[in-house]
Each structure stands twice: as C-alpha cells, then as structure tokens.
A and B are shown apart, each in its own frame.
Chain A
Amino acid sequence: MWDYTEKVMDHFRNPRNVGEVEEPDGVGEVGSLACGDALRLTFKLDDQARIRDARFKTFGCASAIASSSALTEMVKGLTLDEASIITNQDIAKYLGDLPEEKMHCSVMGKEALDAAIAYYRGKSVEVEPSDIVCKCFGITGKEIDRIARENNLAALEQVTHYTKAGGGCRTCHPEIQRILDRILEDRREPAAAAPAPAGRRLTNIQKMKLIEETLEKQIRPNLKKDGGDIDLIDIDGNKVYVGFRGLCSFCPSSEFTLKNYVEKTLKEFVTNEIEVEEVTP
C-alpha cells in the first residue's frame, strides 16, 4: 500500500474546489483516459487580475485527486505571474510529499496550470507529433528534458515516475537515456546561465555581468509576457536596485514579484546573498 501523508489523504477524502468555474478565463486539460489520469483545471480572475476561483475535475488515483485539490488551493488569490512560478515540487511539498512513483501526479497539476495560463494568454501548447518520445503516454522529448532538469532527475526510472514516459512498452528507453545523458553532461559543465553552485565566489565584474545576463535572459522575457518590464538601476555589493516598468509599475503584486520571482531567480543564478530593492521613480 502507498505511504500517503495525512495531508494527501485529507485532500483525497475531502477534495477542495471540485467542479468547473462558469465562464472560465483559463482552462487547462492534460492527461487522458488511456493514460489512467486526467485533469481539467478551470479558473476565473477577479478585476485585479488575481485568480478568484479555481476548480478541478480529475480522473485518477488518490494522489492525482489530492494534487489537483492542492493546486486549486495554492493558486487562489495569485496573479498569473505568481501562479506560473509554482513548480511540481511545490505541489508535492504542499501535500507533505508524494511517493516518488506518484510524482507524475504533481507534474500533471503543474502542466494543467501551465496549459490554463497559456489558454488565458491566447497561446496553445502545441505538440509536434515528431517530437513524441514515449508513444504509449504521448510524452515529448522537450517535456522529458524540462521535467528532468527541473526535478534534478538522474535515473531513467525517475523519469518514468515523474513523467510516465517509458512506463509502457519500454521501446523508448534508449531515447530517454540519451536525453538524460545530455542533461548529465550539461550538469558537469555549467553554462553561463546555470544555477549558482553553493559557495561560489564571484569577482565584482563577474557578478555584475551575471546579474545583467540573468535579468536580460531569464527575468525580463517573463515579465514582458504580461506587459511588464524591469530596469537595472544600480548594484552595490550584493544589493541590486531595480525599477519596474510597463504594467508592473502599477501592479499591486509587484512586491511579491520582486521578492518571490526577481530576487529568487537572481539568488538562484548569481549568488544566494543577493537582495533586491525597488527604486520608485
């Protein structure tokens, strides 16, 4: 029998927010009957562009239902930017962890959320049939690559636990292994924008360059998606002064974005000591 936490069992026995919101702003559907689990997530925004209501319908096991229920609780009250940085690990953590074999349930939640946000933004998540690696579960190479990197996976078995890929006929195992080998290779030679290793010492010039690069490549493109922008004003030691531009400058949740997205990202990619402050014009 699975070793589910009390929290998982609580969300399974008493799932929160079951159903579909009327006239939804976002709809995300992932999974299928054939795969054995599927989730339809719908949400409605309030006039402040925050998620007012989120509801789910799920076909699947106890941890699939619990992950969906947890997800709807987690996103309520967030802007789409704030919601979009929720990871599958966050969902698992919220539930006090999931058995590794069941991590794909948290991934399904994350994917439904991404799909629902993309739906709201008028984008559809397109899948090139040629990119499908696991034909049994319809998982693309890109998905495997992304989820393996995000969850720091190293073994083929883990990829199956997290994405289901390779859990059917197994003919794709060599291809999944090639993807993993590539990722392991990348981990050995960290690229410029790779996460900062703990205790890394940077010279001032290196640090400034890395801050600029992270803002440019990682942070700005994401803010622009919602019509916002950010400028680097100054750097003083580990203090980074920035100014929000565009829609971000009026956004009531800009402080949340500042700490939970901008600072978090810079800490991840530059150094853990970074502190970000907003300079208002």
Chain B
Amino acid sequence: MRTIYFDNNATTQVAREVLEEMLPYFHDLYGNPSSMHSFGGQVQDKIQEGREKVALLLGAHPDEIVFTSCGTESDNAAVRGALEMVPEKRHFVTTRVEHPAIWNLCPYLRKKGYRVTELSVDRKGRLDMDEVRASVTEDTAIVSVMMANNETGVLFPVEEIARIARSRGITFHTDAVQAPGKIPLDMSRSAIDLLSLSGHKLHAPKGIGVLYVRKGTRWSPFLIGGHQEQGRRGGTENVPSIIGLGKAAELALKHLGEETTKIRSLRDRLEKGLLDRVPSTLINGDPDHRLPNTCSLSFEYVEGESILMMLNDHGICASSGSACTSGSLEPSHVLRAMGVPFTAAHGSIRFSLSISNTQEEVDYVIEHLPPIIERLRGISPFWKDFKEGKRISLGGRA
C-alpha cells in the first residue's frame, strides 16, 4: 500500500542529499574530530562546515551554534543553564501550550521552589500581550515562549516578547523546533538569546539538535564533559548527523520560498476541501498566523484515534490531539488551554505537510476522509442527537 505522509511536524524524511552527505562518515571517515591527526582533522573541518550552514539558516555566527542530541536536550539546556546563572532569581515565565520538553519543566521547577507563570491563550491559541508584559518581574530569571506551536502551527510574537524581556534584563529562550525552513529566521536582527532546533523536523536524522546561544548570554553548560563545542556541550560529536544537519539547513534555506508558496497552497487546498465536504468541522488555531504547512481540524462528535486508524487503512499518516492516541485520558493540553469545546477536542486531526507532498496526495485525502467521518458519525450516539437538536450531556457519566 502507498504511504501518504502528512505528519511532518512529528518527523520528516531524511532528504536524499542529506543521507548521501552523511554516509562516508559512518564507515570510511570515522575519525574523532578532536584527534591530533589529519584523519580526524578532516572530520573537524566537515563539522565546522555544518556549523556554518546551520548558522547561515539562523542568521547567526557559527560560534553561537551548539550541537546537542535533540530538541528536548536543547530546551532543557537553555532553561536550566540560564536559571543556574542567576540563582537569586526564582521566577520562570512560559506558556500553557509549550511542547512537553518545556511544559514538563514547570512542575519540576515548582518542586525546586521556583514560581512558574504559564501564560494563557485565547480560543485561537493566541497570547495576550498585556498578560505577557504584566507577568515579568524583578524576580524573573528567564522567559521561554515557543516560536510556532507543534499541534496547531500558531505563530507567537516571540520577537516582541524577546524585546520586552531584554528591556527588563531577562534572558529569553524560544523553542523554534517547528520553525526553520518554514518561516525566515534572522538572529542578527533579533532579541532572542537562546533558541532550540531539532534536526529530524527539517529532513535531517533523529538524534541531533541545536542550541543557539547568543554571544554574551549568561548561560552555563548542561552536559559537563570534554572540551567539545568549546566546552559548552561535552560528549564526542554525532559526526554524521551534524554533517547531515548542515546539508539539511542548506536545503531548508533554499526551499524557504517553496514552503511559503507551494506548501501553503497545498495546505489551504486540503483545509478548504475538507471544510467544504465535512459539516461541523472547526479549524484549531489562528488561521491568519500559523505555519504554512500545518492544518489542525476538529471533527465534532467523533474521536481522533478512530479517524487515524481508518486513515491508516488508506495509507494516510496524520496525528491527533485526542486522549486515546496518547495513552493519556484527556485531550492534548494545547487544545484544553485553548478551550476547544469537548464536542471537538477529542476529534482533532493534525495534517502537517512537507516539500515532498503533492496535490494528488491532497486530493486523495479529500476524497477518503469525508466518508470516514460520516461512517464514524453514524456509529456515534451524539451525532444523531445533535442533528435532531437534542440536548447533549457533556460532563460526567450518564
């Protein structure tokens, strides 16, 4: 069966060019970049090349790039490394819709005695800038706000928030894992101090991440060890992946135009096609301020896992914020924070596109999804009640 992959916010395919760039560094050129011989030294040069390419994508200086093992490590290193530098400050500001790599730091930091502010979002997933301004105090050590939400694609005004933080002398971090290659980034004109990336979201392999650390940022390393990454991240470098990520960064920059034109128009075609054909369908997140590749829809009165399983039977890969898909019992914290009604929260499906998707694939989904929703609504006890205008009990047990 063919595979139609619309789950690129979960992970992406390693690009052919990226793979080819990496292959020699597994077997033939296996030297340690730290070695004092040219066999290792040539690897060091290649790592530096990768660093420069990533820096170019970010509009940063190569010295500001620290390679890590994943986005989660970058997030943890950023927040915990910044907190450590200002032990007298005991306040952390973030949002209620962060990725778990940041969000689950909240209970951890509370336990450590920190005061944590989780900024709220409105029904469209947007922050209230007055609340942001009011949240920072003398005691605030770091503000961390994601650049783009992984579930809804909603973009946050991180530049504006970074300037607010900077004016108060507070370090600002952004989890930008979903952003590179989808929206332009330029750290040279930015007030962001720390920024996290993940390789596998931009057609590089899993197991490689980046922490951008602006020169002059008060930050201390998270992983203590050797002198690698100028002593900012111990551990022998993941050589093939760093080289792959460099290539992927180069490609991302090259394809940025296509992302905002071709992919956006495919996403819009998909979204419109589904909204036109499936009644009682809601868009999750601010439609005017989102990533060009992401579409989160909620189909009322049906449950997300069932939709995914039936899409899977057609070879279509997507994801859901429903409770059942995660093994937890509540819908995603992002949808809950947005106040998505219960009629819709369990039936959310996220489609996230990439450069390799085609219009034919979009049309295939538009053809196959509406009958699935109709079928599941035929099984759902609530759909008929809703159609007949009966009151539907939402809370508690019947």
Complex Cα gap A30–B380 (Å)? 13
Please choose the segment from B32-40, B153-161, B202-210, B325-333 that sits at the chain A interface, where 4 or more of its residues have CB less than 8 A away.
Answer: B325-333
Complex interface bits, B315-330 against A, C-beta within 8 A gives 1, otherwise 0: 0000000111101111
Are A168 and B329 interface neighbours, CB within 8 A? Answer: yes
Chain B CB within 10 Å, residue with most, of A32, A36, A137:
A36
Nearest-CB residue, chain A, relative to B396? A138
Let me know if B85 is at the binding interface, CB within 8 A: no
Are B303 and A36 interface neighbours, CB within 8 A? Answer: yes
Nearest-CB residue, chain B, relative to A108? B397
Are B381 and A34 interface neighbours, CB within 8 A? Answer: no
Please choose the segment from B71-79, B178-186, B387-395 that sits at the chain A interface, where 4 or more of its residues have CB less than 8 A away.
Answer: B387-395
Are B303 and A34 interface neighbours, CB within 8 A? Answer: no
Are B324 and A60 interface neighbours, CB within 8 A? Answer: yes
B398 to chain A, nearest CB (A): 4
Complex interface bits, A1-41 against B, C-beta within 8 A gives 1, otherwise 0: 00000000100110100100000000001111111111110
With known contacts A36-B346, A137-B329, A60–B303 Cβ distance under 8 A: yes
Complex interface bits, B79-91 against A, C-beta within 8 A gives 1, otherwise 0: 0000000000000
Select one of B304, B306, B378, B396 contacting A12, CB under 8 A.
Answer: B306
Let me know if A58 is at the binding interface, CB within 8 A: yes
Complex Cα gap A167–B342 (Å)? 16
Select one of A15, A39, A59, A138 contacting B303, CB under 8 A.
Answer: A59
A197 to chain B, nearest CB (A): 35
A250 to chain B, nearest CB (A): 35
Q: Which residues of B contact A208 (CB under 8 A)?
A: none
Let me know if B67 is at the binding interface, CB within 8 A: no
Complex Cα gap A221–B328 (Å)? 39
Are B382 and A59 interface neighbours, CB within 8 A? Answer: yes
Nearest-CB residue, chain B, relative to A101? B327
Complex Cα gap A29–B306 (Å)? 20
Q: Which residues of B contact A251 (CB under 8 A)?
A: none
| Interface size class, chain A | 35 or more
A266 to chain B, nearest CB (A): 34
Complex Cα gap A167–B328 (Å)? 7
Complex Cα gap A15–B379 (Å)? 9
Select one of B306, B331, B393 contacting A60, CB under 8 A.
Answer: B306
Q: Which residues of B contact A147 (CB under 8 A)?
A: none
Are B394 and A33 interface neighbours, CB within 8 A? Answer: yes
Complex Cα gap A137–B302 (Å)? 18
Complex Cα gap A139–B396 (Å)? 8
Complex Cα gap A12–B303 (Å)? 13
Q: Which residues of A contact B219 (CB under 8 A)?
A: none
Let me know if B151 is at the binding interface, CB within 8 A: no
Let me know if B313 is at the binding interface, CB within 8 A: yes
Q: Which residues of A contact B393 (CB under 8 A)?
A: 32-33
Select one of A30, A32, A38, A61 contacting B306, CB under 8 A.
Answer: A61
Are A127 and B381 interface neighbours, CB within 8 A? Answer: no
With known contacts A15-B379, A57-B379, A65-B379, A168–B330 Cβ distance under 8 A: yes
Nearest-CB residue, chain A, relative to B331? A36
Nearest-CB residue, chain A, relative to B398? A29
Are A38 and B382 interface neighbours, CB within 8 A? Answer: yes
A257 to chain B, nearest CB (A): 30
Complex interface bits, B283-309 against A, C-beta within 8 A gives 1, otherwise 0: 000000000000000000111111001
Q: Which residues of B contact A39 (CB under 8 A)?
A: 381
> Which residues B332-368 have CB closer than 8 A to chain A?
342-343, 346
Complex Cα gap A160–B323 (Å)? 13
Let me know if A136 is at the binding interface, CB within 8 A: yes
Are A57 and B380 interface neighbours, CB within 8 A? Answer: yes
Select one of B305, B343, B380 contacting A61, CB under 8 A.
Answer: B305
Let me know if A50 is at the binding interface, CB within 8 A: no
B297 to chain A, nearest CB (A): 18
Q: Which residues of A contact B382 (CB under 8 A)?
A: 33, 38, 59
Are B397 and A127 interface neighbours, CB within 8 A? Answer: yes
Q: Which residues of B contact A61 (CB under 8 A)?
A: 303-306, 322, 324-325
Let me know if A62 is at the binding interface, CB within 8 A: yes
With known contacts A18-B379, A36-B346, A39-B381, A59–B397 Cβ distance under 8 A: no
Are B306 and A34 interface neighbours, CB within 8 A? Answer: no
Are A12 and B329 interface neighbours, CB within 8 A? Answer: no
B343 to chain A, nearest CB (A): 6
Are A33 and B392 interface neighbours, CB within 8 A? Answer: yes
Q: Which residues of A contact B396 (CB under 8 A)?
A: 32, 34, 138
Let me know if A164 is at the binding interface, CB within 8 A: yes
A42 to chain B, nearest CB (A): 10
Complex Cα gap A62–B376 (Å)? 10
B110 to chain A, nearest CB (A): 14
Complex Cα gap A58–B397 (Å)? 14
Are B305 and A62 interface neighbours, CB within 8 A? Answer: yes
Q: Which residues of B contact A35 (CB under 8 A)?
A: 329, 397
Q: Which residues of A contact B381 (CB under 8 A)?
A: 29, 38-40, 57-59
Q: Identify the 3 closest CB pairs spanning chains A and B, nearest first.
A: A167-B329, A61-B324, A138-B396
28 pairs, A vs B, C-beta closer than 8 Å? A12-B306, A13-B310, A18-B379, A29-B381, A31-B398, A32-B395, A33-B343, A34-B342, A34-B395, A34-B396, A35-B397, A36-B324, A36-B330, A38-B382, A58-B379, A58-B380, A59-B303, A59-B380, A59-B381, A59-B382, A61-B306, A61-B322, A61-B325, A62-B305, A64-B324, A127-B397, A139-B397, A167-B329
16 new A-B contacts at CB < 8 Å, known A36-B330, A59-B379, A61-B306: A12-B306, A12-B309, A13-B313, A18-B379, A32-B393, A32-B397, A33-B382, A33-B392, A34-B394, A34-B396, A36-B329, A57-B379, A57-B384, A58-B379, A60-B324, A61-B305
